[in-house]
Structures are given as structure tokens and as C-alpha cells.
Structure 1
Amino acid sequence: MPDLAPLRPGDPRRVREYRLTGRLGEGGQGTVYLGVSPTGTRVAVKLLRPDLARDSEARERFVREVSTARRVAPFCTAAVIGTGIDRRRPYIVSEYIEGPTLEAVVASEGPRGGPALHRLAIGTVTALVAIHQAGIAHRDFKPSNVLLAPDGPRVIDFGIAKALDRTSTLTATTIGTPSYMTPEQLAGEDAGAPADMFAWGAAMVFAATGRPPFGADSLPAIFNRIVNLEPDLRGIADPALRDLIGQCLAKDAARRPTAGEALLRLLGHAGGAPGAVTPAAPRGILAEGSAAASSHAVREPPAYPAPAGTSAKDRGGLRAAIGGGLVVTLVAVGGLTLALRGPAPEVIGPGRASGPRDVTAPPPSGSAVTPAPAVSGPPPASRTIRLPGSSITIHESDDDPIRLSSYSLDGDAHLYVREPGTSRFTKDDRYFQYTVNPSGSHALGTERTYDRSGHAVVAVVDRRSGTVSRIRVAEDPVYPTLPQWSPDGGKGLVTLYEIVGKARRESRAYGYAVIDVATKKARVVRVKEKDAGTWSYFWRGDGRAVGTWALTGETQRIRFYDLGGTVLQTLLDVGAPITVEGDDVSPSGSMLMTYCKGTNQEICIWSTSADGEAKARIPFKTERLVGWYDDRHIAGWRRSGTGYEAVVIDFRGQVKRVLATSADPAEYDRQFTRYTRELR
């Protein structure tokens, strides 16, 4: 980072929970400050200019765009810690990197050469591999966005240019630094990963010679050279590096190597010339990089009113497996061991995979994580169980990835809980709702009354010993409902409502509470946004954020908050909310479901990472879903004769299995089933 300068009059002293201590730099996008987190960790806080996002929706879209950068493996980048909006200005919090920029080092010490230049090339192109594998293009790669940290080069500010392009009055041609722009950008075309490789080549020329390849004089002259002239590469002594950089600076984007191809060539693998077959860098590098980085680096208690929430939420998770191809070699890059494979392996989601789920990184968008191909449909039911006190019969198999763990009747007036390891359900009216963790060892239960001190209580139940830990969550008139476990099972989440009116018969949205099961403490978050919280909160697939519906008139969106209440991400282009008894987010953490826009006859599947077209439209008429069965199937209730049945369906709407039947339609309207996803 540049030298620290003192704060100026008019500079903020805080951005959300971060205390600002000085200025690290200022540019066209905004100002970068040195910040200190509540735990004392130093961070870099970039506060964007207020005019770069036109309105509240544009600001939320900017935050959503930039938040995708948190998917990037941090081993060669400055990890993005969080994003949000503070006093109507978007901000980005990232890891603070000790070290000057490449631009400053070349200016003060002169060009790089020999092994130093080669190490710089490998480190920076590895960062681009990680960025591109996360589905992001940098679009403003340049020497001032490369920090030379003691442990190697780090790339910063990735993904900001695209976010600005989508949320400000700037255009794709004006976002970027002139000497490092591409012919296609100057022609008004979109800048993707190939543009990053062009900019990388130009930055390596600067590192080797002290000047950009197309000059730094007038804009017309620079642009003319970029479009019409070839760069002078004679200052690069290494012939192989010179040839690679020359190909990266090709006018035709299609002729440029990918970041993965460039990395393999820098590591001594042949290929990349026209007509040659070059093995692609493994898509698994991102997951391996993340793993490597994480290894281092007195009154009668009043009763609550009927719960106001409309849907129970459970948990999601992420588990990726690397498969296919033969291992070619193992190489070390900046302390990271990469398995280079050929042909390039695929990253697959779990289907009904066994074992614990990896939730160390947010789920990639689009096709970066895709469900595992199902080798067969859901297993046939091997037993039926008639549930006590009801007309419900469940049909289950030991091979089901989900298992009914509790159900309630008469609008949560009566609760039945499954006894551990059995098919028996017993009545337990101590709690409104009750949800079991994936291992089956513990459960969260929302108690029906405030305690004698006036606090609402969430119980953590040890299902093996019967021990109950009672955690105070909020004071009367606020109460919790709809408990659920985080993907890793370390935290609980409850939606909070506030009792209003003298009769204490009505409730309004209040916020949520995150329960740390280890410390037996709850953190209450009051959500300020008035359009959020009517529908209950649910975990994002990575366990680092919680989401809820934000509804205003005809506008509907899903907003994600961090565990302290900062807005991180907003999905603007989704359909209408639908009641879900269990998982809103898929087991892989990469998908969620709503009604399709303008209809309640279809269920749409969306990426949890970014806006876009629906990944699937499932023809299925329902008023309530059970949740996700696995990454290839959902489960929902539908009419059947004079009653209802819960069925497992695939993404084409084909029924694969009956999970449950409910013979009494009047009972159905006030029943609620809670399925737990089991670790297998």
C-alpha cells in the first residue's frame, strides 16, 4: 500500500464497524483508508464516490456485483472481507497488504528483470487464474493494482470496474486506465478475461522496461498505437516470456492465451503457439488455493403470539470434488501446491454425496459449481410411518438425504419430535419449533414463553444426553421463531418479531439473531431496512451471511446481510416468494427457488451468486414446498384426491417419489413439517 497519510477535514472517522486511521490513496473511483476492525485487525476500506451509484437500487447492485469478489481464492489477491453501503456510499473492505505497488517500486528502484520478473509474472497470472475461475474479470489490471507484499505479489481491485459499469453513468470504454486498455474496449465492446490478459502483458512490459508498451503521452496517440501498432518488446530479455507477452498483446482477443495457459507456460510446459494443444489450468486450482490459504494463513412469563413467519428455513452447504483427468505434475507457486491435470477436470457438486461439506468459500456462480450427475433417482420408500395426532403418513428410505425430524399441528400449537435413531415421534409442547442439526446430535428449539426475567429463550438440546442449554435471545416484546442451523453446525439462526398492540395479538418484523452454540451467546441484529423481514431469514450457502425477502409494492428481491447486519448482496431479478418448510438454498449452496415471475404455476431455480436468467423452470403448482431434496430434485406439496401429498420432483417437473401424504385438508392448512438434511 502507499504511504499512510493523515485523515483530512471532511473524511469520515468510521465506516460501519471499522474505525478509519488514515488515507492510503485516492483515485477516480474513491478513497482508500486504513481501517481497524472491532477485533483490532487492520483492513483497507475503499469508500466509493457518491456520484458513481445513481440511486438506492444502483448502490445495492454495486454491492451485489462486488460481493462476488469474495469467491476469489485469496492466495495471490487481497481478500475481499465485505461490502456494503454506509451513509449512501458503497464501500469495500479488503485485507490490508503491507507493501508498495508495482508502479511505485519500478518508479523508485527501476525495472524488474531475471528471476524477480519471472516470479512477478507467475504470481500475478496465478491471481488472474483464481479471479477468472470465480467467474470475474478484473477489467482494470495495471501496475498500481499490484501490491508487492513480503510473501509475493497480490492483485487488488478486481471486479470493481464491472460493478461501476453496471451502476454508474460511466461506460465500458471509460472504465480502465488508457495505457492498459484493449482494442475491443476502445471499440466499445465488453471487456472480459481476454482483456485482463492483454493488460497483464502490458503490465509485464512496464515491469521489465519502466514504461507501458503503447506509451503514456496523449490519449489519441496511446489509442492509435493500441489499435494499429505492435508493441516494442525488445526490453524483455527472456525469449519465452517475451513470446508469451507478445501473444497476450494480440489485437485479436481470440488469439490471446487464457490465464491458465499462460501459467502453465511460465511453469515450463510447452504449448500456446498457434495450432498447439495447451492443457488448460485445472478448474480445481481455486478450491485448492482456498484450502492452502486457510491452512496458513419475578412475573409470570407471557406467551408469544402465534409466530408471524411464513416459512421455516434450514441450511445449505458447499462441497466440491475434483474429478477426471490424470495428474501431470505437482508444482509450487508462492507456497501453494497445485495439481496440474490434463485434460482439465470438472468441479462437481454433491448430488447425494457423503461426508462433511466444505463451506470455506462462497458458492461460485453460473457453472462454476454444478450439481453432480445423478446416477439414479431418489430411492424407493422402504417404510411408511403414520404420524401421531395427525392424518399424515410419511414414506421414507434409509438412503434419503433428508429425514423428517419434527412436525407441528394447529399452527404450531402442538409439536412432535422424532426420538433419536428411531421412527417414533413424541409430543413436546415446550417449544414452538424444533430443528435438528445434520449429525442428529443437537437441536434448536424456540421456547413458548419468556423466562421470569422477560427474555425470550432458544434452547440448545443435546439429543444424546438430554441436557438443555437455555440461551437468552431478546427481551419482551421481541421473540424468536423459525430456528435453523448454519451449514457447519456451529451457529443457530432465528428470525425475530416484535409484539405490537395492547392486545398483544400482532407482530411486526424486527430482525434476526445469530446464536454461537459454543459460547452459548446470541447476537441480536435489528434490521433497519423497512422492506425486509416479513418473511423469515435463512442462511446463505457459505454460512457467512443470512438472507430474507425485501418486498415493496410490486418490487421483490432477496437481500443478504452479514452476521452483524451489513448489507452484502441483493438479488434483484428473481420471482415471487414461496413458503418453504425446509431448505431455501440447495445442498451445494449455489441455488435457491421462488415462484417464476408472473406465475404461481412454475418454480424457478436461480443462482445464489448473481442475477441472471433462471437456471430451470419447473412446472409444478403448489402453495408450499418442503425444500430441497438434493441438487437435482426439490420436494413440494400438491393436491391429491381430497387431501395432499408431498412429492420429490426433478427440474422437468416429473414426480420421482412420494415423501408424505396428508389426508385431512383442514389439518394440512395448519401443519408444518421440518426435514433435516443428514450427513452421510
Structure 2
Amino acid sequence: MTEAGGTRPDDPAEIAGYRLIGRLGEGGQGTVYLAVPAAGDDARVAVKLLRADLAGDAEAARRFVREVELARRVAPFCTAQVLATGLHEGRPYIVSEYVAGPTLAEVVRDEGPRTGASLHRLAIGTVTALAAIHQAGIVHRDFKPSNVLLAADGARVIDFGVARALDLTSTLTGGVIGTPAFMAPEQFGQASPGPPADLFAWAGTLVFAASGRYPFGNDHLPAVIGRILTAEPDAACVEDPALRALVLDCLAKDPARRPTAGAALARLLGMSPTATPVPPAQSAGPARSAEPAQSAAPLEVALPATGGGPGRVRRRASVRTGIAAAAVTTALALTALALSLGPPPATSRPPASSTPQRQPTPTATVAKPTTSFTVPSTEMQVYENETDPIKLVSYYGGNGVYIRQPDTRTFKRDKTYSHPYVPSPDGTKALVLNNYNPDDGPKTVTIVNRETGKKRPVLISGERGVWAYAPRWDLTGRFGLVTLSLPGATGGAWTRAGFAIVDIERGTARVVEVDDAPAGLLRFFWVGGSVGMWAEDGTIKLYDLNGVHRRSLTGAHAPEQMDDDPISPDRSRFVTRCAATGTDLCVRPLDGNGETVTVPFTGTRLLGWWDNDHLAVFVKKGEGFDLMVIDLTGTQVRRLASTAEKTPGLFHFTRAKI
């Protein structure tokens, strides 16, 4: 949060009974001041005083105030509450709560994208704010990352209540005011934007929060507008499938296809969207639009009302909003709004990723195995239940890869592949390497259609001396990831490392070298839209798809051996060793908010996550091993497999449909 600067000699000393104690910022619409009640109360507020030329004549200024007054009807949860409006020496002013906290734009810039539970909480808080704004008959019209403040008690939406007032009273704007990168297609035409435009901007803001990039770019204005009007949105960065589907629905070009804010909230809370009532603002005629009383937008654009092309661009200073602590907390507000929408179906519950902190799941929740079978060419016995969240799908048998046949417990050997064979998230395809050894020629990954058996080889590298291993799918099924060990200048292995990004639809691969990868064997893995790597400094480093380091997850000491990835199925937590020495495991929140859970563990090999509250680990038993499910207290609750072999082989379990 920007500290307030001092006031200037020509600034008012007092407005509407509030003493101005500093400037929070100045922009194209006016100046925002930090103020306190003149009577001596310490409660801070933000006072926005508009430019005199924006208000027009005296009658226009009064109309402006009447329009902005509507913003006071917005329920205060998840928003910066408008406290008062009026005229000061003929100039409109708006008094609102002061919120101490950075904008979403600043947090993503400084700390990186939001993922897992953090992104879900952001989605719920901000769409709740939009539902309240629309309920009051207002349309935001400038929803964007810089108009979302991340306060101590949750996300707050700011800058609503001004846009329609300016449209109706000012002769200087020349048309619609907004931020092009987050504007809906209809905002570039003559139609007055309604609540669906806010849902479009909300979805674009979530894409930004999850990736750090603008949903349709932020380069030349005509190009941005062209992509908004014609290009299909890309929400692959949103990891959770249900949230990603909601974001894509809200980015529909046709406003009629977008859900209402209430319906979007119902989906986030696990309710039936068909049972969600339409808020009055969307069923009782055109809603009024609003721009918040305080602004942090770096770019304001005035576009011609005819939609005939981009108009003038005005750069304005970053202005921070503020709000004192709200009387109603975000959690209570969410509950109240959820109740107003009606009870959820008996079988539904909120998504797991919206729960910030869990207690270890009781042992009884893990179903006991109902069948068992012996894995061919091994000494392993597998114990399985039809409802198990992960199942054995492939393994390396010494003379080829054994692949489980669909809907059976039969495994078929394929000598042309090297381990592992990895199904896509929806189970329709698989990735498998032709070889990993650098002496076996070019490195190729094959995309297998599991329904038809059709195979599509993709060349990764023809360079000699390359090792390739650990193919991985991103959650969308659009991209694959293959870890590479690249030969050094003298031809030695394990001196350079990188990864290949496989475009599944195009059937192409691109090699990316990572400069600071440690020597020796490692595996790259997906963390949302980023690529993660265990680093030697006890962190997981996250890279973009060009190999540029973006941020790190601390307290992440690599397990001695881990077959799967460290990220939990709901993408809210990750598992690591607690310290550089020792074997105990630590489960940490991916967004850094919440407590770390220590899981006592004495083994050395970790298969990965069983479900969101259990891990799968190898436990020494006599000369062999048991593969066990343990809860987050370290208690063994279920046997997955057992083997008499002194060294368990390479086995791959999948969450996809077998």
C-alpha cells in the first residue's frame, strides 16, 4: 500500500467533515486523499475529489452526485464501502472506507501468480463483490487487477460508482471509459454494457492472477481489441478444471452465454447453477454502471461511443484505495449471500481447493481393497479397490514397458517404449518415450490415442548424448513436459538440464535449457502454468515456459526419491522433506498461507499423493517393500502393493480413467 504523501497548499483542509492528512494519489479523474474525521476519531477514510471540469455545470454536478449515491446501496462485504457523496465548492466528492493492502496487480507482479486455494478464495471473494454490486443495480465497468485490493480480511473490490455518472454528466470523456485489456467485446460497440461485461472482466482478472499475463495481451491497442473481439480465450493457466470451465464460460463473446455473478458464485460454492436465482439487477431492466471511488489503474482509455476504433489514451497516476476494517467479515458475507441463493443440493459441497486448511483425514475414509492381482514379470502383488483415486497403469519389466489395457487388470508388453506410459488427465491419450538412453539415438515422445490405438511420434531432440525421462501432462491436456539431461561441451552427461514442451494438438516439441539446474538426475513437473524444479538450495524453483525463473517455493527439500510430483491433487499444497537431513515429510500450503503439517516418515522413497489428505510411500518389510497409504499423522491406513524385491521397480500410477 502506497504511503500517503503530504498535502499541498492549494488542497482543501477539510471536506464533508473529514480532515485531509495526505495524498494517496492523483489521476485523470481527480485526487484521492487520506482523511480522518475532523471531530478527532482516528478512523481513516479515503476521499476522492473529482476535477471541476469533469463535473460540468452545477446541474450536471448534482446529477453526478445522485448517480454516485447509488453506490451506497452496495452491501459492504468484499467492497470498499461508499460512506458519503456530495459537492465541495461545486466539485463532486466520494468518501469511502480506507483499505490497507496491495492491489492484486502488485501482488502478482511482486510474488508471482496465484494458485490452488489462494486462487479459489480470490475468485469467491471477488465474484461475491460483483454479486453485491449488481444486486444494487450497478455495473462496475472497470473491473481489473488494480481494482482488487488484498486486505488482511480478504479481497476487496474498489472503484465502483463513478463510470455511469461520468457518462451521464461529463462532456469530456467522449464515450466509454475502461481498461481495454479487461473490457468485454460489447464495450467496443454502441450498446451500454450490463452485468455480463463485469463477468467477462472478472474472468480476465482471474487469468491474470493465475498467470501474470493479460487475457488478450497488453501491446498495441488495436491488436488487443481485435483479439478480444475475435480470438478464443486461453485459460490453461487455471489449474482447477471446474474453475477453468467457469472462467471460459465468462469469457464468451456473447454476453447472453455468460453466467450471472450469482450463478458463478453458486458454481464456486458447489451449488447447482440451474437453481441459482437471477439477481434483481439482471432481471429488472438495465443495471446502472459504476466506477469505484478510488482507483489504482495504470491505464485509462476513452473510447468513441460509436466503437469505430481506439480513441485517446490517458496515463494516470496509481491511486490506492483504502478501507477501514469492514463491520461484516468476508466469511460471514459469503455465508449470507450463499443462503440468499438457496441451499446447495444434499450431495454437493464446496470444492476442496477452496478450503484453506484441512485437518488430516480419518483412517476410515480410505476404502479397503476388494481385489488383488500379481503384476506379470515382477514379484509385486497389487491390492486394489474400484474407487481408488490412483491405480497402477504401467511399469518397466526389464525387457519393455508393460501397459495396462483399458478396463482390465491385464498388462501388455511393448518393447518399443521406455518407461513410463502416462495417460492424459481425461484418460483418452497417453505420452510415452521411445527411449531415454543417450546412446539409443534421437529422443521421441509418442502421443497415443488410447481409444483407437493410433500413435503420433514427436521428435524432441536429434542431438547425441541427450537423456529424456519423466513425461508429464498439464492439467488441460494441451501440453506435455519431458525432462532432459543435455550433454556438456565435452560430451559428458548430467552437466546441463532442461525440458521439452510438447504441443499435443500440433504434434511439435520445443527444448528449453535451464541455466541453474543442478547436476545429476532431476525431474521437472507442472505447477499450474509454470514448470517446477527441485533446487539444491532447499526450494522448488518455478520457471515460465521459456526457462525464465519467476519465483520459488521455500522450505522444499527434495525427498531422496519421489516417483510422482509434489503438488496435491487439488493444487493447494505440496509435500517435501522438512529439512536437508532427515526423512520426515512436510506438507505446506502452495500459496504460503496456512500452517505446515509435519508427517513422521522413516523411509526414503515417496510415490506421491494418494488423495488430498493421504500420501503413498514405500515402507521396508523384511527383504522387500510394502507400498502403503499413510495419513498426515504418518499412520499407515492401507496397503497398495507388496513386493519381495529388494529394490522396487519403476511403477506408474495414474488418476486418469484406466
TM-score tier after normalising by the smaller chain length? 0.5 to 0.7
Change (3 A) 1:388 1:354: farther
For the 8 Å contact 1:406–1:418, the answer to whether it is kept is yes
CA RMSD of aligned residues (A): 5.0
For the 8 Å contact 1:533–1:549, the answer to whether it is kept is no
**2:531 matched residue in structure 1:** 546
Change (3 A) 1:343 1:141: closer
Correspondence for 1:585 among 567, 572, 585: 567
- 1:449 Cα shift? 6.8
- 1:354 Cα shift? 11
The count of residues paired between Structure 1 and Structure 2 equals: 419
Change (3 A) 1:119 1:400: same
- 1:320 Cα shift? 6.1
For the 8 Å contact 1:124–1:154, the answer to whether it is kept is no
CA–CA distance in structure 2, aligned partners of residues 124 and 341 of structure 1: 14
* 1:118-137 paired onto structure 2 within 5 Å: 118-119=70-71
- 1:464 Cα shift? 2.3
CA–CA distance in structure 1, aligned partners of residues 438 and 623 of structure 2: 43
- 1:533 Cα shift? 8.7
**1:394 matched residue in structure 2:** 382
Higher mean Cα deviation, 557-566 or 106-115? 106-115
- 1:204 Cα shift? 8.3
Q: Does 1:463 align with 2:455?
A: no
- 1:208 Cα shift? 11
Change (3 A) 1:155 1:378: same
Change (3 A) 1:407 1:450: closer
CA–CA distance in structure 1, aligned partners of residues 397 and 500 of structure 2: 25
Correspondence for 2:270 among 305, 318, 322: 322
TM-score by length of structure 2 reads: 0.53
**1:426 matched residue in structure 2:** 412
Change (3 A) 1:451 1:535: closer
Change (3 A) 1:416 1:536: same
**1:560 matched residue in structure 2:** 542
Correspondence for 2:65 among 108, 113, 122: 113
CA–CA distance in structure 2, aligned partners of residues 626 and 398 of structure 1: 20
CA–CA distance in structure 2, aligned partners of residues 578 and 320 of structure 1: 38
CA–CA distance in structure 1, aligned partners of residues 338 and 432 of structure 2: 46
**1:342 matched residue in structure 2:** 336
TM-score by length of structure 1 reads: 0.52
CA–CA distance in structure 2, aligned partners of residues 292 and 117 of structure 1: 32
- Equivalent position amino acid for 1:139 in 2: G
**1:594 matched residue in structure 2:** 576
Q: Does 1:676 align with 2:657?
A: no
- 1:621 Cα shift? 1.6
CA–CA distance in structure 2, aligned partners of residues 101 and 124 of structure 1: 24
- 1:483 Cα shift? 0.3
**1:535 matched residue in structure 2:** 522
Percent identity of paired positions between Structure 1 and Structure 2: 24
Correspondence for 2:251 among 283, 294, 318: 294
- 1:423 Cα shift? 0.8
Change (3 A) 1:583 1:374: farther
Q: Deviations over 1:19-70 (max 9, x none)?
A: xxxxxxxx999xxxxxxxxxxxxxxxxxxxxxxxxxxxxxxxxxxxxxxxxx
- 1:597 Cα shift? 2.0
CA–CA distance in structure 2, aligned partners of residues 435 and 458 of structure 1: 11
Correspondence for 2:371 among 374, 379, 383: 383
For the 8 Å contact 1:532–1:550, the answer to whether it is kept is no
For the 8 Å contact 1:622–1:638, the answer to whether it is kept is yes
- 1:661 Cα shift? 0.7
Change (3 A) 1:610 1:100: farther
**2:472 matched residue in structure 1:** 484
Change (3 A) 1:630 1:128: farther
* 1:196-595 paired onto structure 2 within 5 Å: 290=247, 293-296=250-253, 321-322=269-270, 330=279, 332=281, 342=336, 367-368=355-356, 376-409=364-397, 414-433=400-419, 434-448=421-435, 455-477=442-464, 478-500=466-488, 506-531=493-518, 535-540=522-527, 542=528, 544-551=529-536, 555-595=537-577
Q: Match of 1:153, SS?
A: coil
Change (3 A) 1:404 1:532: same
Q: Does 1:606 align with 2:588?
A: yes
CA–CA distance in structure 1, aligned partners of residues 425 and 585 of structure 2: 26
Change (3 A) 1:382 1:140: closer
- Equivalent position amino acid for 2:270 in 1: I
CA–CA distance in structure 2, aligned partners of residues 116 and 638 of structure 1: 66
Q: Deviations over 1:150-202 (max 9, x none)?
A: 97133544799x9xxxxxxxxxxxxxxxxxxxxxxxxxxxx7349979xx69x
- Equivalent position amino acid for 1:490 in 2: R
- 1:625 Cα shift? 1.3
Change (3 A) 1:153 1:524: same
CA–CA distance in structure 2, aligned partners of residues 482 and 386 of structure 1: 25
**1:632 matched residue in structure 2:** 613
**Structure 1, gaps ≥5 residues long:** 1-26, 30-98, 130-136, 163-190, 210-284, 298-318, 346-352
